[in-house]
Amino acid sequence: MKRSFVSLLLIILMTNSGFSQRELIHALPASLGLDEAYIDQKVDSIMNMGIDSLAFPGAQLLVAINDTVIFHKAYGYHTYDRIEPVKLNDLYDLASVTKISGPLPALMKLMDEGKLDLDVPFSTYWEPWRHQKDKKDLTLREILAHQAGLVPYIVFLQKVMRNGKLKKRFIHHGSGKKFQKQAYDDLFVNDRFERKIDRIINRSKVSEEKKYNYSGLTFLIFPRLIEQITQTDYQTYLNDNFYQPLGCHTLGYLPSTKHFVNAIVPTEIDTLYRKTLVKGWVHDENASLFGGVSGNAGLFGTADDLAKLMLFYQHYGNVDGKQLISQKTVKEFAKVQYPENENRRGLGFDKPLLKNAELPLEEAYPSPLASADSFGHSGFTGTFVWADPEKHLTFIFLSNRVYPTREHRALYDLNIRTALMDVFYKALDNSVKN
């Protein structure tokens, strides 16, 4: 009775807030001709091996085929003390999955509307770069495909710390007139620090050698660019144009301020900056210095919400018969842009290795059975999302592999996510053969 009342209350609240009541369809693997025993045995084995190898204290996996969720299961606990088990509606820090879940759909929509052009200089829209000789001619296509020669990452945290302590002119333990951006429970950033970040980005070097080099630098800029073009608050724009129509009830920034009933999975025990367990606030330090709202990181969400988003991409911008982004634009963003330069990336999206189908599982990324049309993104905290329009498969993996420290790299070393994905592709292939 209590659960029914809470569910009803949530539905009322979401209806009043304008959220679509879109729910995912669930069915047993056998209903689609898949070998359920094979899937369960393989997935359980890989997940348990990951936990035993300290790849993550807990994780969950959601897989949909033909728009139907045929697998959604949680494993392990939030932390290694084994107190709170992972639940299917837990919220995770999505890290770099933010890039394709936040700014990217907005950029696609603005391109649809003729407000952005991939092949004119980015400085056409971002005025500070017009005065930077090495940046003024870079195009949005080059930038989104990580082909522009920008530096991969700048550690802005170094600018707010000295000898292991926070500089008071940049960070206060409490809000104030000039300290409005909240970075953590009791940490507030000077509003002027954003200008310092911009100056550092403007002066950062650009490589003359145009080759694939992953850079999240402009994703720090994109939210403000979107606000500039749309004259709308970035978070409001995402909610109104994407999250609400898709029925993504939890996908968003700053979950600690939103009083969700969902548990939030902790990320890292931060011994450098926040000096505590990071939970409910963005793990990425750069996004934190933007008050937790950034294009490179900062989004939190459930597996269900990510599945809705990736199914939307898998249908090339269509949801329930409505085209939120044109098919042409999504297909352009989801295709490899510079294969002649050995660059596998799409526009914002990650793609399979260029000769992935020819590689053994241990060397492939992702599964060698994934189609060349498939795309997605991974996140530093241990998240991974993928959509395969050709094989109608959606894959969502969520973990907090950075707990208790980011030095935990077994998730990568054991190739866990690729191995999990391969299970479902093989199950699909076997169902076709049978």
The amino acid present at 222, given as its one-letter code, is F
Least trusted range by pLDDT, from 16-20, 87-91, 96-100, 330-334: 16-20
Q: What is the pLDDT of residue 19?
A: 67
State the Cα–Cα distance between residues 426 and 244, nearest whole angstrom: 35
Ordered alpha helix ranges (H), 281-415: 285-288, 303-314, 327-333, 410-413
State the Cα–Cα distance between residues 297 and 180, nearest whole angstrom: 19
| Mean pLDDT calculated for residue range 81-110 | 98
Per-residue pLDDT band for 18 (boundaries 50, 70, 90) equals low
Percent of the chain, pLDDT > 70?
95
CA angle 404, 405, 406 (to 5 degrees): 140
Domains, the chain: 25-117+234-432 (3.40.710.10)
State the Cα–Cα distance between residues 91 and 246, nearest whole angstrom: 17
State the Cα–Cα distance between residues 286 and 185, nearest whole angstrom: 16
Q: Tell me the pairing of strands 187-189 and 181-184.
A: antiparallel
Question: In this predicted model, what pLDDT tens digit does every residue of 307-322 receive, in sequence order?
Answer: 999 999 999 999 999 9
Question: In this predicted model, what pLDDT tens digit does every residue of 96-122 receive, in sequence order?
Answer: 999 999 999 999 999 999 999 999 999
| Mean pLDDT, all residues of the chain | 94
Q: Is 73 helix (H, G, I), strand (E, B) or coil?
A: strand
